Structure 1
Amino acid sequence: MSELREATRVDFLTAAFGKEVATQFDQNLDDASAAHFEAYKFKIEQQKPVYKKRAELAAKVKEFWFMALQHCGTTSQFIDAVDEEALKALKDVWIEHSPSDVREYEIRFTFGKNPFFKNSTLVKKLTLTPPADLADKADKPKPFDLEAPVFLADNVKIDWISPDHDLTKKAPRAHADDKEEFDEFEGAGSFFNWFGEVGEDRTSLGENLLEWWAHATEYAAGLTAHDDDDESGAEFGFDSEFDDESEDEDPKKEIDLDDDEEKKRPAKKQRK
């Protein structure tokens, strides 16, 4: 019996166009991926001066980085109430891509003095190399695959002022293997839990931060919708108080109080 294997791109191309043409198409797709990869590297280098200038301007705005995190739906869901004072001390966020492979990067958080920990910087690295326990399961990334998964590198040690100041103990992460999202009452816990996680980035926070950082100015200014998946069409995230009213609704229609109470119940928070 032949060993079962997952169908590859070549298999699909062969089924669609035949073996000879499929081989040519496959090479063409590889060439396109290589060009896209090089364009991504070029883009990163070209944007560095822009982000450095942004950092200078952001330093003049009180709580710029905290506001940027709070106004972004994919990052704010990881901020617990206990984190706010610490994150308000955030002075800068910088992302540096690896010179050997731009798909790997580190996120550097620079803090001013705060009442919780002594570190002035916390640096979290994301790598293409899976941890030992996932090495046999993870596929080797293709040379130009920008969608290749990255993994959380070593645990970042936070020097808490005392055990009572440890925000990760005040608001621990609620992981459950059988859940696709965080429970409404348990939540994601403290933002700082992420620094201690290694291996698979189960929350995708690293990827979300990479996207968030590119648009931090818009988020800090409130020019981008808080919920990035919002389909209401409200430009710049400003909601109309009349958005939920139907044009055809009868003003004399009897109100169902039971139904109204049901609508007021908090919905379970979705993981982005």
Structure 2
Amino acid sequence: MATQAKVPKTEGKNNHENADDQADKEQQEAIEQIDEVQNEIDRLNEQASEEILKVEQKYNKLRQPYFQKRSDLIAKIPNFWVTAFVNHPQVSALLNEEDEEALQFLTKVEVQEFEDIKSGYKINFHFDTNPYFDNDVISKEFHLNETGEPSSKSTPIKWKSGKDLTKKNQQAKGGRKRSPEEQESFFCWFSDHGDAGADELGEVIKDDIWPNPLQYYLASEIEEEGGGAVDEDELDDEEGLDDEEGDEDFEGEDEDVEGEEEEGEEDDGEDEG
């Protein structure tokens, strides 16, 4: 009986190594090809961003006359902006009582996006003559430099004597001093430039309130017209009363039927007699 030839161990090992080398080579080639495809995708994304930016710039210019017309109409409504801010859940959380009083003199808010849009925007707050500060306009603007680093700057507020709402040790109403636990003023936001990239209030005003402030001005009226939720206890009580009234009606009907039956029996007795 012929014996089967044995394969040298070194030959089997070499075949295994060759297979691994081939697999590594194919994997490396696939990675290089994926990288090339990804570069094409990135190139198209960049091209799309440029074209989207042009469209945004075009329509931003087309919107300006409508924003101006809207501002002119809003100016006819007293306390429009302070009402919109108070009705907005995020902004209202930043307002204390004195902020609301000062914002009653706010006559106009406008958001100005810079021409290339990506580099930043500016928010202007126009005020009527008021007892708090001398500024007619207070602005805060946000910038992105060439490296994408965010920064912000704002108009210094010219507070009138004893009216600086940003100072916590300021005398409050009735001669009371504010405690450190009391809420910071909304106006502190103008001088806060610590983290411009995470300025939520600026983003909320630009992206949420500014596109449609009317919805927040009307928010309280819509809520009132819609009415509150029905109280389940009241509903249960009403249903209970209805059930009781229904039971009484049925009881009355039973009594009437019984009375009629008794009268019928009496009549039958008289006929028999």
Question: Per the alignment, do residues 45 and 243 of structure 1 end up closer, same or farther by CA in structure 2, a change over 3 Å counting?
Answer: farther
Question: Per the alignment, do residues 29 and 210 of structure 1 end up closer, same or farther by CA in structure 2, a change over 3 Å counting?
Answer: same
1:127 aligned to 2:139?
A: no
Q: Deviations over 1:168-219 (max 9, x none)?
A: 11489xxxxxxxxxxxx94752110011122423442111110211111221
1:241 aligned to 2:239?
A: no
Corresponding residue of 1:152: 152
Shift of 1:150: 3.8
Shift of 1:101: 4.4
Question: Per the alignment, do residues 17 and 241 of structure 1 end up closer, same or farther by CA in structure 2, a change over 3 Å counting?
Answer: farther
Q: In structure 1, which of residues 194, 216, 220 is the aligned counterpart of residue 213 of structure 2?
A: 216
* TM-score, scaled to structure 2: 0.62
Q: Deviations over 1:136-169 (max 9, x none)?
A: xxx923xxxxxxx74322x42111111x211011
* TM-score, scaled to structure 1: 0.62
Corresponding residue of 2:200: 204
Corresponding residue of 1:167: 165
Question: Per the alignment, do residues 107 and 15 of structure 1 end up closer, same or farther by CA in structure 2, a change over 3 Å counting?
Answer: farther
Corresponding residue of 1:140: 147
Shift of 1:65: 0.9
Alignment: residue pair count: 196
Corresponding residue of 1:74: 90
**Residue pair 2:57, 2:116 contacting (<8 A) in 1 also:** no
Gaps (5+ residues) in structure 2? 1-29, 171-179, 240-273
Question: Per the alignment, do residues 107 and 117 of structure 1 end up closer, same or farther by CA in structure 2, a change over 3 Å counting?
Answer: same
Tell me the secondary structure at the aligned position of residue 140 of structure 2: strand
Question: Per the alignment, do residues 98 and 171 of structure 1 end up closer, same or farther by CA in structure 2, a change over 3 Å counting?
Answer: farther
1 or 2 for the larger relative contact order (CA 8 Å, sep ≥6)? 1
Q: Deviations over 1:23-80 (max 9, x none)?
A: 1111111122222222222221111111101001001101011111111122222212
Corresponding residue of 2:47: 31
Question: Per the alignment, do residues 219 and 92 of structure 1 end up closer, same or farther by CA in structure 2, a change over 3 Å counting?
Answer: same
1:178-189, aligned counterparts within 5 Å? 186=181, 189=184
1:107 aligned to 2:123?
A: yes
Gaps (5+ residues) in structure 1? 1-13, 130-138, 142-148, 173-184, 226-233, 252-272
Question: Per the alignment, do residues 102 and 27 of structure 1 end up closer, same or farther by CA in structure 2, a change over 3 Å counting?
Answer: closer
Letter in 2 for 1:140: T
Tell me the distance in 1 between the aligned counterparts of 2:115 and 2:220. Answer: 33
Identity of aligned residues (%): 27
Corresponding residue of 1:134: none
Corresponding residue of 1:5: none
Tell me the secondary structure at the aligned position of residue 61 of structure 2: helix
Shift of 1:119: 0.9
Tell me the distance in 2 between the aligned counterparts of 1:108 and 1:244. Answer: 47
Corresponding residue of 2:259: none
Tell me the secondary structure at the aligned position of residue 114 of structure 1: coil
1:192 aligned to 2:181?
A: no
Tell me the distance in 2 between the aligned counterparts of 1:124 and 1:113. Answer: 20
**Residue pair 2:87, 2:220 contacting (<8 A) in 1 also:** no
Tell me the distance in 2 between the aligned counterparts of 1:73 and 1:16. Answer: 50
